């Protein structure tokens, strides 16, 4: 009988093209790189080395810690670089996977998106094996790293365009057993503010992909303005430490927190966002941390081409805590000028 050739394996189901010198199952501490293939005019067989460290010390949970998903957000990368320097002395029960600059080209350029392919890594999941560099990174995280992890913590900030009141972002799982564990971890982190995430159908993010894998996922907005916010950095470092302790990776050495140590907030859709209706220069009338009332003036947009014309007045539609504000005065129509969040009553997550 004539032999029938086997159907080719779809590219999406083949192993990632990203390789590494790290053996994730090997006990002990390893520092190395993810080798992101990059063939270009100056280097036909080149790759981009993305630093990674893994500490594996016996049975226990696996925590994936990432920063630099957006390259202009620096509190996360700095917190994780400081953690990497502690790894030789750290005694854990389980495994830590630490990548301070996940979208490494963007981090080195200080830009939100990759300077090579203009890809936004946090809108690229689940990625593509044979895609752009950013899609290949997303595919590696989705196909290799997520299956190894129990919990993922992706550290963010507002980047160059916005500034946040340092806040942990939490996404409650739908499974009741996981939800109880997750609620305990949220309280253990003890951030002054925890924003309950609503992905609103956006399924291309790191968090949405982590949820599809059944991981417990945390995020955070720890500052912004493309600077390192000292308060945000301190909160990020404390949350990392508390998360490791809450998972059982580290013994509980930090002081116990009282119930309701963190206040839960939620963004109530369009009513909590403020957008520029026209281009110009934005003059804000609020600050981070302000308690805003519906109808309150958010600011004005001045038109440099008509300096004698009245400024366009912007008002808030809803009420709440000013959690985010635009960091750049120059705006185009449609730019986000900031957003609010409202307290979530106890027991209504």
Residue 260's pLDDT is what? 62
* Contact predicate 48/140, CB 8 Å: no
126 cis-preceded (ω within 30 degrees of 0): yes
In terms of Cα–Cα distance, which of 323, 321, 276 is closest to 301? 276
> How far, in Å, CA of 271 to CA of 269, rounded?
6
- In the chain, where the domains are located: 12-266, 269-343
Beta bridge partners of 66: 99, 154
> How far, in Å, CA of 195 to CA of 126, rounded?
24
What is the number of other CB atoms lying within 10 angstroms of the CB of residue 27?
11
Residue 4's pLDDT is what? 43
Residue 246's pLDDT is what? 94
Q: How far is CA 255 from CA 83, 185, 239, 258, 315, in A?
A: 20, 15, 13, 10, 43
Q: In the structure encoding, which two tokens stand for residue 310, read together?
A: 């009245």
Residue with the two structure tokens 């990059």: 38
> How far, in Å, CA of 142 to CA of 132, rounded?
15
Q: In the structure encoding, which two tokens stand for residue 328, read together?
A: 């750049």
Residue with the two structure tokens 């990432």: 66
Coil, strand or helix: which one is 343? strand
Residue 7's pLDDT is what? 45
Could you tell me which CATH class the domain 269-343 is placed in?
A: mainly beta
Per-residue pLDDT of the chain (349 residues; tens, 9 = 90+): 444 444 444 555 689 999 999 999 999 999 999 999 988 888 888 899 999 999 999 899 999 999 999 999 999 999 999 999 999 999 999 999 999 999 999 999 999 999 999 999 999 999 999 999 999 999 999 999 999 999 999 999 999 999 999 999 999 998 888 999 999 999 999 999 999 987 667 899 999 999 999 999 999 999 999 999 999 999 999 999 999 999 999 988 766 665 567 899 999 989 999 999 999 999 999 999 999 999 999 999 999 999 999 999 999 999 999 999 999 999 999 999 999 999 998 667 6
Is the entire prediction scored with pTM above 0.75?
yes
Q: In the structure encoding, which two tokens stand for residue 54, read together?
A: 């893994």
> How far, in Å, CA of 292 to CA of 294, rounded?
7
Topology classification of domain 12-266: Aminopeptidase (3.40.630)
> How far, in Å, CA of 123 to CA of 143, rounded?
16
- Cα angle: 87, vertex 247, 29; to 5 degrees: 20
Q: In the structure encoding, which two tokens stand for residue 82, read together?
A: 């400081």
Helices 230-247 and 176-189 meet at what angle, rounded to 10? 130
Phi and psi of 281, rounded to 5°? Answer: -115, 125
Range 65-93 burial, b when 16+ CB lie within 10 A, else e: bbbbbbbbbbbbbbbbeebbeebeeeebe
SS3 of 171-212:
CCCCCHHHHHHHHHHHHHHCCCEEEECCCCCCCCCHHHHHHH
Residue 197's pLDDT is what? 87
């Amino acid at each position: 009988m004539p032999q029938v050739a086997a159907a080719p394996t779809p590219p999406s189901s083949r192993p990632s093209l990203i390789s590494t010198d790290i053996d994730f199952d090997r006990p002990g501490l390893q520092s190395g790189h993810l080798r992101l293939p990059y063939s270009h005019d100056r280097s036909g067989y080149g790759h981009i080395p993305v630093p990674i460290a893994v500490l594996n010390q016996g049975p226990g949970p696996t925590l994936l810690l990432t920063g630099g998903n957006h390259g202009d957000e620096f509190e996360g990368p700095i917190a994780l670089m400081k953690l990497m320097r502690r790894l030789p002395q750290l005694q854990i029960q389980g495994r830590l996977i630490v990548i301070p600059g996940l979208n490494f080209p963007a981090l080195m350029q200080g830009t939100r998106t990759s300077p090579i392919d203009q890809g936004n890594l946090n809108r690229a999941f689940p990625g593509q094996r044979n895609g752009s560099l950013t899609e290949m990174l997303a595919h590696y995280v989705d196909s290799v790293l997520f299956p190894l992890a129990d919990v993922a913590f992706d550290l963010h900030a507002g980047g160059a365009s916005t500034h946040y009141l340092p806040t942990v972002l939490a996404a409650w799982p739908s499974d009741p057993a996981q939800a109880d564990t997750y609620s305990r971890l949220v309280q253990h982190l003890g951030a002054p503010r925890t924003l309950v995430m609503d992905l609103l159908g956006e399924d291309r993010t790191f968090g949405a992909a982590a949820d599809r894998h059944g991981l417990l996922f945390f995020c955070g907005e720890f500052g912004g303005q493309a600077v390192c916010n000292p308060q945000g950095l301190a909160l990020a470092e404390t949350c990392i430490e508390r998360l490791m302790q809450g998972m059982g990776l580290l013994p509980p050495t930090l002081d116990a927190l009282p119930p309701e140590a963190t206040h839960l907030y939620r963004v109530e859709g369009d009513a909590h966002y403020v957008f520029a209706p026209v281009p110009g220069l934005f003059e804000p009338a609020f600050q981070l941390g302000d308690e805003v009332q519906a109808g309150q003036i958010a600011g004005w947009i001045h038109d440099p081409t008509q300096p004698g014309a009245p400024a366009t007045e912007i008002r808030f539609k809803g009420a709440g805590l000013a959690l985010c504000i635009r960091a750049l005065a120059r705006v185009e129509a449609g730019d986000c000028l900031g957003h609010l969040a409202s307290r979530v009553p106890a027991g209504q997550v």
